[in-house]
C-alpha cells in the first residue's frame, strides 16, 4: 500500500515515515503545499495524510484537488488545533478521517487500516478470490485452506492484483505502486518480472489457477474471466 505524507514539521514527518515504513507501507513525502500538489497530480496513492497548516498553502485545497481527480485514494487530514470548522470542512470536501495533533502513530495506523479496508476491500478484513484467501492485517495467504509463504513484495503484489482485478496494469504503474518514486525505472522492470513470476509460480504450485495474464509489451492482468 502506497502512502503520501504531507507535513512541514520535519521531526513529525520523520517519525511518521519511519513508523509507517516499519508497518510495511511504501511511503512518499512532501514538506510543502507545492510539493504535495505536484505529487498528487503526478502519482496515485492508496492513502494521503495531509497536514492542514502548511507554510505555503492550506492542506484542505490538496484534498479538494485530490477529490477532483475522482480517485479512490483515502484521505486523513491532520490539524494542529482542534478546530471544528476545519474538521467539518475537511470531511465535507471528501476527507475520510481527521486527527488533531498531538496524536499517537498507532492511532494513525488504525485509521489508515480502517480506510484501506473500506476503500479497497469493501469493508472486509479478509479478501477472497476463489481458492485464494488473504488476511492483510497478519500478512497471511492461504490457497485452498493451506498457508503459503510469500515475500512482502509478492504479498503486496497479490493484494494489488486482487484489488485491481480485470484491469490492465502496466509495468510503470506496478513499479510506482509497489516501490514509490525511489526505484530507478531502468532496472525496475526486471524486478517486476521476477516478483510476478515468483508469485505466479507459488500460487500455481499450491494449487491455485493461473490468474496472472501477461500482456505482451504492456504489463499484466489478474483475471478469472479469460479462457486459458
Binding positions for Ca ion, rule: CB under 5 A: 8, 51, 53
CB of 9 to Ca ion, least distance (A): 6
For 65-76, letters b (16+ CB in 10 Å) and e give ebeeeeeebbbb
To Ca ion, the closest distance from the beta carbon of 75 in angstroms equals 16
Cβ at position 31, least distance to Ca ion in Å:
10
The closest of 202, 150, 195 to 135, measured between CA atoms, is 150
Q: Minimum distance from CB of 101 to Ca ion (Å)?
A: 8
| Residue nearer to Ca ion on the CB measure, 78 or 157 | 78
Of 4 and 192, which has the nearer Cβ to Ca ion? 4
Of 101 and 133, nearer to Ca ion (C-beta) is 101
Q: Which is nearer to Ca ion, 51 or 156 (CB)?
A: 51
Q: With respect to Ca ion, which residue has the nearer C-beta, 55 or 145?
A: 55
CB of 201 to Ca ion, least distance (A): 47
Q: Which is nearer to Ca ion, 8 or 154 (CB)?
A: 8
Closest approach of Cβ 3 to Ca ion, in Å? Answer: 18
Amino acid at each position: 500500500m502506497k502512502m503520501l505524507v504531507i507535513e512541514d514539521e520535519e521531526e513529525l514527518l520523520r517519525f511518521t515515515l519511519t513508523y509507517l515504513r516499519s508497518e510495511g507501507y511504501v511511503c512518499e513525502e512532501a514538506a510543502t503545499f507545492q510539493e504535495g500538489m505536484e505529487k498528487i497530480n503526478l502519482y496515485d496513492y492508496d492513502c494521503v495524510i495531509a497536514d492542514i497548516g502548511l507554510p505555503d498553502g492550506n492542506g484542505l485545497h490538496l484534498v479538494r484537488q485530490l477529490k477532483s481527480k475522482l480517485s479512490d485514494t483515502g484521505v486523513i487530514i491532520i490539524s494542529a488545533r482542534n478546530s471544528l470548522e476545519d474538521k467539518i470542512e475537511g470531511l465535507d470536501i471528501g476527507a475520510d478521517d481527521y486527527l488533531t495533533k498531538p496524536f499517537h502513530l498507532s492511532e494513525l495506523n488504525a485509521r489508515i487500516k480502517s480506510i484501506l479496508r473500506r476503500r479497497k476491500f469493501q469493508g472486509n478484513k479478509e479478501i477472497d478470490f476463489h481458492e485464494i484467501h488473504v488476511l492483510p492485517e497478519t500478512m497471511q495467504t492461504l490457497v485452498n485452506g493451506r498457508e503459503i509463504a510469500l515475500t512482502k513484495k509478492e504479498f503486496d503484489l497479490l493484494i494489488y492484483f486482487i484489488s485491481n482485478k480485470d484491469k490492465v496494469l502496466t509495468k510503470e504503474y506496478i513499479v510506482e505502486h509497489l516501490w514509490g518514486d525511489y526505484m530507478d525505472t531502468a532496472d525496475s522492470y526486471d524486478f517486476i518480472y521476477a516478483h510476478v513470476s515468483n508469485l505466479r509460480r507459488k500460487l500455481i504450485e499450491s494449487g491455485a489457477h493461473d490468474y496472472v495474464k501477461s500482456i505482451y509489451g504492456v504489463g499484466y492482468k489478474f483475471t478469472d474471466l479469460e479462457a486459458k
